[in-house]
Amino acid sequence: MSVSAVDSGQKNIVQGGRLARYGLRSFALGYLGLLLLVPVLMIFYKAFEDGFVHAWESVTTPEAQHAFWLTIVMVLAAIPVTTVFGIACAIVIVRHRFRGRGALNAIIDLPFAMSPVVIGLALVLVYGSRDGWFGQDLAAAGIEVIFTPLGMAIATAFVALPFVVREVIPVLQEIGDDQEQAAATLGAGPWQTFWRITLPAIRWGVTYGVILATARALGEFGAVAVVSGRISGSTETLPLYVRKLFDTFNVAGAYAAAVVLALLALAVLFAMNWIQRRDRAILAGPSVAAEPAAVVPHIGLPDEKESRS
Amino acid sequence: MARFSTKLRRGGTAGPPSAAAGSRGGDIRAALVAGVLAIGLGIGVAACGGSSDASGSDGSGGTIDLVAYSTPQELYEQRIEPAFTETPDGDGVGFKNSFGSSGDQSRAVEAGLPADFVHLPLEPDVERLIDAGLVAEDYDAGGKGSPQNSVVVFVTRPGNPEGIDSWDDLVTGEVEVITPNPFTSGGARWNLMAAYGSQIAQGKSEQEALDFVAQVLENTPVQDASARDALQTFIGGKGDVLLSYENEAIQAQNAGEDVEYVVPDETILIETKAAVTEEADDPEAAQAFLDFLLSDEGQRLFAEGGYRPTDEKILAEYEEEFPTPKDLFTIEEFGGWETVATEFFDPENGSIARIEADLGVATE
Amino acid sequence: MSDGAVATPQAPPRPALRLGFGGPGLTRGLVVGYLSVMVLLPIAAVVSTSLENGIGAFWDAVSAPQAVAALKLTVVASLIVVAINVVAGTIIAWVLVRDEFPGKKIVNSLIDLPFALPTIVAGLTLLALYGDNGVLGISGVSFTRVGVVMALLFVTLPFVIRAVQPVLLELDREMEEAAASLGAGPLTIFRRVILPNLTPAIIAGAALAFARSVGEFGSLVLISGNIPFDTEVASVFIFGQIESGNTESAAAVSVVLLMISIGVLFLINLLARRSMRHER
């Protein structure tokens, strides 16, 4: 039973003839092959080019281990907050009406359009303990931001910001708010409506948003590099450690560390899929076999047909 | 909305049971989210307050925050620092190291990166710290701020198939030169000043020297962002000759890369600078460390690592590894870095900027 | 941006939409607050730096020939990348959701990988693979504008795919079935029934892809060649300005990049809305 994000449980009406199907498939696989599969294979190959032992040693030095855990901490510190605000932001943009909504929507993608070096610079400008806009006051209160893991977490959250929002907004738009309206008329409070109706409906958007945001947080180099001060064994994340390995001519080691990052990203993907699967199994009950997709309490069944525009 | 608005797919069951089931699934999800959030915030906050385990000793003799350029990273961590802690002055001293590109490091220290000891290959980057009040103006009086030098060399393929051994070989039009972008890489500036200076040393005029630099750049198909990237590009197969620091070439060879290098007759002395900062938490330890670097033992450690010692006596011991070029000049001949940075490398009006612009217009 | 509201002729006047924690006001406030601190503040810092020497200096920095060349290359390359992503990404998402073939799950899991890798690894790998001296060497890729586009395609791969997938998964087949039973061919069904529903998602993915392309540095810097006026992108130029001590100029060009991004994103949204209106 296929319970992954790639459902094809139902008959595919739009596939068209065999030719179309194979054509599309070939294109997709060809494109992915060139830009994804072959490079990933290459990375794994190069990681073990100097032998498995060498690769293992490169990623298990004390410095490497510290970098590994620091990266995990960065992700745990930045992603949950990003997810919560991402969902809230998506709801505000799609469901609320107020002036400035368009502006809010426009700001979301901006973290991306900034070169990582500039992001680092901007954060130092704002939070730097010597001359920063807020940094000076924060330092006086004993809070150091730049050159500490806190600043790095902020930088990570900055670059991960757009993902959950952008993944959830289209799904929110897609599902429409009938259900939510119906729930409201039936007396459900906003929190209930959110938990029981909206969240399950946007689950795949949230899932992919979290996966993308986490992947980005794992791989972030530029902005974190500037904000971290690159202190070995202290503010060095795994991507920074990759750079260090590269700089000391341990290219195979650099690839090995990259493999670790890739495995972490895969772990997140599987974890998210597993969470989805568990929910679905519980929600759908015995008839789950043929219905791998979203299951939502269906209130107002008779009115369904009329809600089309 | 014209599009056929879709609805949520129907579930396997309908009505109240699924509502209850929804809440069970929601509860699990809620628990998971809450758990992760809690972990995240907790660890995050804890991490902020956490500090590292410094390398080296237990830190009972103090801790030195060392901020340096990226190349000597391995040498510091694996040879010099351990050797220092063996000495009576260095007993029990711990190190917190940060390595990166010269400009990045300098800007970081200026912005507040804790640093007791800095070592950078570009004097302007140290000047920045002097301007910020972080390094004393007389840090280099009597050479006490110059622990290590290098020279610009030609890195070639094994066997030097193109027979490159002089600057003129670079501009024949049949040789591809690799040198980094002078606006993003300090190393590139040394390279281009070496090229410029080589012509002056040969008796050419300033304009002829500039034209020569333009010719070199014309034969440069790639201008990597950093010196290490340029080395990587060269090792990857691009280009016939790479302009680089001598110690980079030696390090590459030691790491097993298949390259050779030639010390040209005319080249520039790359003078790196080191200093104890004014705001050092542990100035005695840092000063002891700097003294160690300038001592015979320290100088020999540099030499063993491929870096030219500044102590002439020690340099003479390693005559074979570090041949003295016929015509070795320094940046002082062109007015020192302060003048050169403005005259040559000012991004808008510097002569190199104009050369790049002319070349660029030609390639458009 | 559409808000997904659907008119229901028989329903009573709809109650004010209340979603979120403690009512719309608090949610909105928190969201705006978070965005202001996290996004607006750093951007304000950049803008303020760019104007440090006055608007004259801002204009000089931005109109310098090298800056203009870098900006042009960046924007053109990013637009090309977005166009390719929109088509390829939608097709791939379609194949991943609606098609079935051995290894599909593996392929699906790998989509986000380019993204989780530090950019230097991405650049290094592409160079080692497709560069002139690469394993699968194709000439004319490394150190050319083609290399720039290739690196950007690599790092923006997941965006459109992952934006379209969730929507495709949520799509109700009923309408497709209805259209088919009314005699519509597959292409028509796709064009009239499915695509309009995918458009917001494609737009969202395209926006992310564009914004990322415009700011990308690490993966490009090894494979592009960085020759000023030729293969130097805006982010490398900006980096060069910072290294040369010209922080104001770097900030100025960054601000222009941001403005261009906002402009392009606005245009994309406009086009999307226009095309959706046409369907009426």
Element (H, E) at A294: none
Whole-number CA gyration radius for chain C = 22
At residue B59, the pLDDT reads 60
pLDDT beyond 80 at B4 = no
For residue C93, the SS3 value is: helix
N-terminal to C-terminal alpha carbon distance within chain C: 17
Averaged pLDDT for residues C243-259: 90
Tell which C residues from 48 to 107 touch A, by Cβ distance under 8 Å: 48-49, 88, 91-92, 94-101, 104-105, 107
Q: Identify the band that residue B42 occupies on the pLDDT scale cut at 50, 70 and 90.
A: low
Tell which A residues from 151 to 180 touch C, by Cβ distance under 8 Å: 154, 157-158, 161-163, 166-167, 169-178, 180
pLDDT tens readout for residues B328-358: 999 999 999 989 998 998 888 889 988 988 8
pLDDT tens readout for residues C8-40: 444 444 444 445 445 567 788 888 888 888 889
Beta bridge partners of B152: B245
pTM above 0.80, yes or no: yes
Whole-number CA gyration radius for chain A = 23
Q: Which two tokens stand for residue B274?
A: 């080191």
E-state strands within B105-166: 117-120, 148-156
For residue C105, the SS3 value is: helix
Sign of CA dihedral B40, B41, B42, B48: positive
Q: Give dist(CA B125, CA B103) in Å, integer.
A: 6
The alpha-carbon gap from C108 to the nearest alpha carbon of chain B, in Å, equals: 23
Q: Which two tokens stand for residue A29?
A: 């696989």
For residue C111, what is the DSSP state? T
Please indicate whether, in this complex, the C-beta atoms of B229 and C228 are within 8 angstroms of each other. Answer: no
Which residue has 């597993």 as its token pair?
A274
pLDDT tens readout for residues C59-79: 999 999 899 999 999 999 999
| Chain B residues closer than 8 Å to C222 by CB | 224, 229, 232-233
Q: Which residue in C197, C222, C229 is closest to B229 by CB distance? A: C222
Exposure of C90 in the CB half-sphere (CA atoms within 13 A)? 19
Element (H, E) at B276: strand B266-276
Q: Decide if C169 contacts A204 (C-beta within 8 A).
A: yes
| Chain B residues closer than 8 Å to A73 by CB | 43-44, 47
Which residue has 């040393």 as its token pair?
B201
Neighbours of B36 (CB within 10 A): 15
| Chain B residues closer than 8 Å to A250 by CB | 255
Q: Which residue in B1, B4, B8 is closest to C2 by CB distance? A: B1
At residue B247, the pLDDT reads 93
pLDDT tens readout for residues B67-117: 999 889 989 999 999 999 999 988 899 999 999 889 889 999 998 899 999
Q: Which residue in A150, A176, A244 is closest to B5 by CB distance? A: A176
- Return the residue of C nearest to A206 by Cα: C166
| Chain A residues closer than 8 Å to C113 by CB | 36, 40, 215, 262, 265-266
| Chain B residues closer than 8 Å to C6 by CB | 1, 5
| Chain A residues closer than 8 Å to C110 by CB | 36-37, 40
Q: Which residue in C15, C96, C238 is closest to A117 by CB distance? A: C238
Q: Give dist(CA A278, CA A266) in Å, integer.
A: 18
The alpha-carbon gap from B69 to the nearest alpha carbon of chain A, in Å, equals: 11
As a whole number, the mean pLDDT across chain B is 84
Averaged pLDDT for residues C100-118: 86
As a whole number, the mean pLDDT across chain C is 83
Q: Which residue has the higher pLDDT, A178 or B5?
A: A178
pLDDT tens readout for residues B127-148: 999 999 999 999 998 889 999 9
Per-residue model confidence as pLDDT tens for chain A (309 residues) = 333 445 444 455 555 678 888 899 999 999 999 999 899 888 999 999 889 999 999 999 999 999 999 999 999 999 999 999 999 999 888 888 877 777 788 788 888 888 888 899 899 889 888 778 888 888 888 888 889 999 999 999 998 988 899 888 888 888 888 888 888 888 888 888 888 888 888 888 898 889 889 988 998 888 898 899 888 888 999 999 998 898 888 889 999 999 998 888 888 888 887 877 776 666 554 443 333 333 333 232 233 333 333
